[in-house]
Chain A
Amino acid sequence: MPANKKHLSPSFHQRFAKITAGFIGGFMIVVTFFLILAHLIDHRVALFTLKFAGFIVWCAFMIIPFLFKNGWKAWAVYLAIILFLSAILYFLIQNSPISISSL
């Protein structure tokens, strides 16, 4: 029953790449995505949704890198997504910053 070893990535750096891609990269994708959402809809709704739904989405992003054969390719894809989302976020912050009225 233990997983067949021939299918597992043997090297440390491959495992490292997959785990960090999911844990760090996945977290960054989730947070930037919801930050973009915060600029488009009521920011409090977006942020509070991030607080609970964020964990479920992050979990999905932690599983995806394991589907890749090469963990560094997973990182490359994740980095591309992060850069793309960050660019949108930067554009939104410059053009329509959130006004936190009650403060």
Chain B
Amino acid sequence: MSNRIYNVLFHTHTVSGLVISVALFVIFFAGSISFFRDDIINWEREQPIKENSQMDIDFNTALDSIAARNNLSGRDITIRQIHQERRVMVSATPSKDTTANEADKSRLFFYHDPATHENYSYFQDFTLGEFIYRLHFFAQIPYPYGYLLSGFVAFFFLFAIVTGVIVHWKKIISNFYVFRPWAKLKTVWTDAHTALGLIGLPFQFIYAVTGAVLIIGSSVMLSPVTSLLYDGNSDKMFEDLSTNVKAFTYMHKPQFYEVDVNELVAKAEQNWEGVYASQVVLQNYGDASMHVIVDVKPENDKQFAGLGQVAYKAATGEVVFERDPYKETTYIAAVQDFLIKLHYGNFGGYPLKIIYFIFGIITCFVIISGVLIWVEARDKKINTPFKRKANQWVAAIFLAISLSMYPVTAFTFSVVKLFKDANDPQPHLLIFKAFFISWLVLSILFSAKKDNYFTNKYSLLSGSLFGFIVPFANGLITGNWIWKTFNEQQLQIFVVDAFWLITSIISLLVFFKLKPKAKQNQPKAVKAEYLAK
């Protein structure tokens, strides 16, 4: 590689990394916590469920109770449970009956609690877990701008990864063993950036690609395809690229069938070994052409990706379509499964989630160290004082926004446990206020103080203190003390409390280890803290 190309690519790595730095940090920090999204939700609602008990519900009773409150005839009803929580997602297409009234020609979407038979709209169902999960793709910014922003940040992250590897290629092995914690700050950041960047490389590459695909794969990558092959009709494209069983023709013959969905689901699950139901669709509900379609997936230890399907005719109960998950999984279904499993990290239980979480936080540290290298490298006498000062400001603001996410998250957890009313029809308001206002205030205060050492130290301290409150607040409010949830094996509640207890202890230890004068110690401590968190 010529000297010119090396320098040019180096510059593209620097610029692309800097431009996305804050957004990428927020994505990785919120995303890392989102590995525990379902645990957080169950902790918040005090509804722990057994592991791998998804779709273990009484479909007959659930459907009766849903049908009693909504006119389902002529609709396709889909019941899914993509998260480890008690509530199931119910969605229904508009009625295909051309004579249906206006109300029946709109879509339905709600969450159904199979234990209480209550229905909840999306907003009533909103939780802190969902908030943090959605923060990691900027869903709070109006659609589609938040999605596009996060998608392109992921794509430019991919660009930064690839250029970074090219630039670093020659020294990729030798530099991996270089660690000079007592040298000047710049070398500390550089060593950390390259070593941790290399350790996290496969992880980061997976997340850059899958992140971009999941959020802008259809809207950006396939948009020219939509207009060229599908006359600009994206619904047509989604139907063509869908993994669902094709639609059975609606016959306009109202006919009610007493279908035992539970039995059909059980039959589908017994069709193959080691599969579980992932989705139940009732096509053309209340019509002579009604069908029940059960999707099954192999368990993780049987096969990584797979989709089996059985379609039953409601009138006779006979099987009209069958797809073997072990032999006939389509390419699209397999790719879809791969992308989602790799991104969600949900194929190896808690050990994998913890490893993924640590890698996520390592990536946060790689982002921070990258920005700090940029500042230190430009803090030279050849640069004008104004420029050096401006760079320092950028770093101070960046660190203030990034590092304050830790105390702000801990604070919001405490607030939600202490003050959230389970019957609040708009629970998102409390969460938004607690999170965004405290984030804004802390960011401004830390930026104004403009002392990176101070920002780091007091983010750790305040995060640790608020973090200690979380398990306490949970014990006080609900009586679910951490030893009790441990003994009763209410795993998800225990995980959240233990998470905050462990991170708080570690960050408090790091806080006490930080020494104000020996500035060289700072990076090591930051690193230890981030690795631990």
Tell me the A residues contacting B by CB distance below 8 Å: 1-4, 7-9, 31, 34-35, 38, 42-45, 47-52, 54-56, 58-60, 62-63, 66-67, 69, 98, 100, 102-103
**Cβ of B63 under 8 Å from chain A:** no
Distance of B377 from chain A, by nearest CB (Å): 5
Q: Which residue of A lies closest to B331 (CB)?
A: A45
Contacts of A7 in B (CB 8 A): 3-4, 6-8
Residues of A within 8 A of B236 (CB): 100, 103
**What chain A residues lie within 8 Å of B239 (beta carbons)?**
102-103
User: CA of A59 to CA of B166 in the docked complex: distance in angstroms?
Assistant: 13
Whole-angstrom distance between the Cβ of A14 and the nearest chain B Cβ: 11
Known contacts A7-B4, A100-B230, A103-B240; A47 and B222 CB within 8 A of each other: yes
| Complex: A98 Cα to B241 Cα, angstroms | 14
Q: Are A100 and B229 in contact (CB under 8 A)?
A: yes
Name the CB-closest residue of B to A32.
B224
6 other A-B residue contacts (CB within 8 Å) besides A35-B228, A42-B331, A52-B217? A1-B190, A7-B7, A48-B331, A48-B332, A55-B155, A102-B240
- Measured as residues with beta carbon below 8 angstroms from the partner, the interface class of chain B is 35 or more
Assess whether A38 is in contact with B162, with CB atoms less than 8 Å apart: no
Query: Chain B contacts of A38 at CB under 8 A?
Result: 225, 229
Residues of chain A within 8 A of B339, CB atoms compared: 52
Chain B 328-340: CB-based contact to A (< 8 A → 1; otherwise 0): 0001100100010
Complex contact B221–A100 (CB within 8 A): no
CA distance A103 to B209 in the complex (A): 31
User: Of B10-18, B358-366, B419-427, B474-482, which binds chain A?
Assistant: B10-18
Least Cβ distance of A27 to chain B in Å?
8
Which B residues are CB-close (under 8 A) to A58?
Answer: 155
Q: How far is the CA of A50 from the CA of B223 in the complex (A)?
A: 11
Complex Cα distance, B242 from A100, in Å, reads 13
- Tell me whether A47 and B335 are in contact (CB under 8 A): no
CB distance from B144 to the nearest CB of A (A): 17
* B-side contacts of A100, CB under 8 Å: 229-230, 236, 240
**How far apart are the CA atoms of A88 and B509 in the complex, in Å?**
65
Which B residues fall within an 8 A CB radius of A? 3-12, 14, 155, 158-159, 162-163, 166, 186, 190, 209-210, 212-213, 217-218, 221-222, 224-225, 228-230, 236, 239-241, 246, 331-332, 335, 339, 373-374, 377-378
With A31-B224, A55-B158, A98-B229 known as contacts, the answer to whether A3 contacts B240 (CB < 8 A) is: no
In angstroms, Cα B241 to Cα A42, docked, is 11
Residue from A45, A51, A52, A58 with most neighbouring chain B CB atoms (10 Å): A51
Bound: A1/B187 CA distance, A: 10
Interchain CB contact (< 8 A) of A55 among B3, B6, B7, B212: B212
Q: A2-B378, A7-B8, A52-B217 are in contact. Are A59 and B158 (CB under 8 A)?
A: yes
Q: How far is the CB of A90 from chain B (nearest CB, A)?
A: 11
The answer for the CA separation of A34 and B229 in the assembled complex, in Å, is 12
Instruction: Assess whether B14 is in contact with A2, with CB atoms less than 8 Å apart.
Output: yes
- Does B8 lie within 8 Å of A50, measured CB to CB? no
Nearest A-chain residue to B1, judged by Cβ: A67
Are B225's CB and A62's CB within 8 A?
no
Minimal Cβ-Cβ distance residue in A for B333: A48
Say yes or no: A44 contacts B8, CB within 8 Å.
Answer: no
Contact B12 A63 (CB under 8 A): yes
Closest to A60 in B: B162
Residues in B with CB closer than 8 Å to A48 are: 241, 331-332, 335
State whether B229 touches A66 (Cβ < 8 A): no
- Are B228 and A50 in touch, CB under 8 angstroms? no
Pick from A1, A9, A55: contact of B221, CB below 8 A.
A55
Contact in complex: B377, A2 (CB < 8 Å): yes
Task: Say whether, besides A48-B332, A55-B213, A102-B239, A3 and B225 are in contact (CB < 8 Å).
Answer: no
A-B contact pairs, 16 of them (CB 8 A): A2-B14, A2-B378, A7-B6, A31-B221, A44-B240, A52-B339, A55-B221, A58-B155, A63-B9, A63-B163, A66-B9, A98-B229, A100-B229, A100-B230, A100-B240, A102-B239
